[in-house]
Amino acid sequence: MIESILGALLIMFMRICDVSIGTMRTILVVQGRKYLAGVAGMVEVLIWVFAIRYIFQNLDQVINLFGYAIGFGLGNIIGITIEQKIGFGFAQLNIISISSSEKITEALRKAKYGVTVLPAYGAKGNLTIIVVIVPRKFQKKIIALIESIDPKTFITVQHSLPYRGFIHGSRK
């Protein structure tokens, strides 16, 4: 009985590892980091093969299937959590503040972030859109700064893949 439980835990651990790596690999692929994605894919598949091999050798143990499924679910959660902590890539923040655009722009520039201000026209008239492209690892910090100035600011965040030119965050 203890051997069955240990086997299921081993499978669960292997699945947590390979799915977490798979989550990271997917993000690396999207960002065009082909060599890192290739290495991650190799490690991911190697772990998966060992896990599935163990399951096939012990198909009579239903608990192994639960270990496999639980490991898959936890692997997704852990993989996303790790990626959020590492913050691969860049994010583009589009910021619209009805009353504090200038203060937000000044604060971002003082913090040494590149800021582009675009004129816009909304339902309530003229306004500005502040655009900032930053390494994702600074995203939460920047949003906190913006919200400390105007908690009602409208902010959108999207993945950004800089193609050419100056990335302002490199001055930090």
Average pLDDT over residues 47-55: 92
Classify residue 80 as left (phi > 0), alpha (psi -120 to 50) or beta.
Answer: alpha
Share of the chain above pLDDT 90, in %: 63
- Span 130-144, average pLDDT: 92
**The residue to which tokens 């050798």 are assigned:** 57
Residue 162 has pLDDT above 80, yes or no: no
- State if pTM tops 0.85: no
User: Of the segments 45-59, 75-89, 143-157, which one has the largest average pLDDT value?
Assistant: 143-157
Mean pLDDT of the chain, nearest integer: 90
Count of residues for the chain? 172
Q: Average pLDDT for residues 15-22, to the nearest whole number?
A: 95
The better pLDDT of the pair 163, 19 is held by 19
* pLDDT value of residue 124: 82
Task: Specify the pLDDT at position 167.
Answer: 60
Question: How far is the C-alpha of 162 from the C-alpha of 62, rounded, in Å?
Answer: 48
